[in-house]
Chain A
């Protein structure tokens, strides 16, 4: 049976700091007492970097911007390593599955660091150099590369949004044009409409009355 753990996190720049409480409860029946160096007046010394390695132990749910669409989700290449090439990110596939022509953008998925859209610099047999900056060393990591990607860069591209939210986008672009023309009054008004549509779109998905329930320890 897996051990019960207690984690917490905080943010440091572009990184997430994961900490674990160093008091092992085993299967929930036994408590291993902490060492003398770990005991502080408030127990804060018990929080430290993760104590054990856990495969796929950390799960991050996040929102990303739909600047691209994956056309053929089945058109993927399994890569096994990334490294740097003159300061640019170089992804490597030992099986030579990466395309050698006709691809300008790729989407990486399943990487611990590089998920998302990347612009291609050079295509080669077995490796691809991207425009993404990277000056670290070689890292062995399995990740998936989608090569059939439609990027938002053309008039004929479909914006990947619900129709109602696309109306909000019209207000946003109008607001930016008003800002460029130094018409700040119009810009504020248009941004207000932009946020109003987003709020209405959010509210429309919630049925019934909205109530805030008192907490379990609230005075009644």
Chain B
């Protein structure tokens, strides 16, 4: 569906306002459902605890690590820790 067709169905004439609401709607839709999924691989650095999430992330669906509970270089889902470990990160970044 084109933006124009959506505007006609609603009876809108302001393009900027319609596109702003469409973008909001796409975000809200992806909070509930999954229309577009991406996978990103990041290098793990020794002694670095914090890693930036991708710029365009709306919702995380899975986090996997290489060799997690295996020796076959497989990527497996890792659990979310409920508590922070008592040992603080050395660099704190």
Contacts and interface: CB of A to CB of B under 8 A. Distances in A.
Given A15-B50, A161-B1, A166-B1, A8 B23 contact: no
Given A10-B81, A50-B47, A155-B15, A63 B34 contact: yes
Contact of B3 (A1, A27, A159): A159
A10 B2 contact: no
Interface stretch (A93-101, A108-116, A120-128): A108-116
Given A53-B44, A57-B44, A66 B35 contact: yes
Chain A interface main SS type: mixed
B1 to A, nearest CB: 4
A177 interface: yes
Contacts, number: 290
B42 A2 contact: no
Nearest to A171: B25
Interface string A152-169: 111111111111011011
Q: How large is the interface on A (under 10, 10 to 19, 20 to 34, 35 or more residues)?
A: 35 or more
A10 B67 contact: no
B58 to A, nearest CB: 5
Given A8-B81, A56-B66, A155-B15, A65 B23 contact: yes
A48 interface: yes
Interface residues of B, number: 77
Chain B interface main SS type: mixed
Contacts of A57: 41-44, 65-67
A183 to B, nearest CB: 14
Interface string A61-78: 111111100000000000
Given A10-B81, A50-B49, A54-B43, A155 B58 contact: no
19 contacts: A8-B78, A10-B82, A44-B86, A51-B46, A52-B44, A54-B43, A57-B44, A61-B62, A64-B37, A64-B54, A152-B19, A155-B2, A158-B1, A160-B36, A173-B18, A177-B10, A177-B12, A194-B25, A194-B28
8 closest cross-chain pairs (CB), A and B: A116-B56, A57-B44, A172-B25, A47-B85, A166-B1, A49-B49, A56-B41, A61-B62
Interface of B: 1-4, 6-7, 9-10, 12, 15, 18-19, 21-30, 32-73, 75, 78-87, 89-90
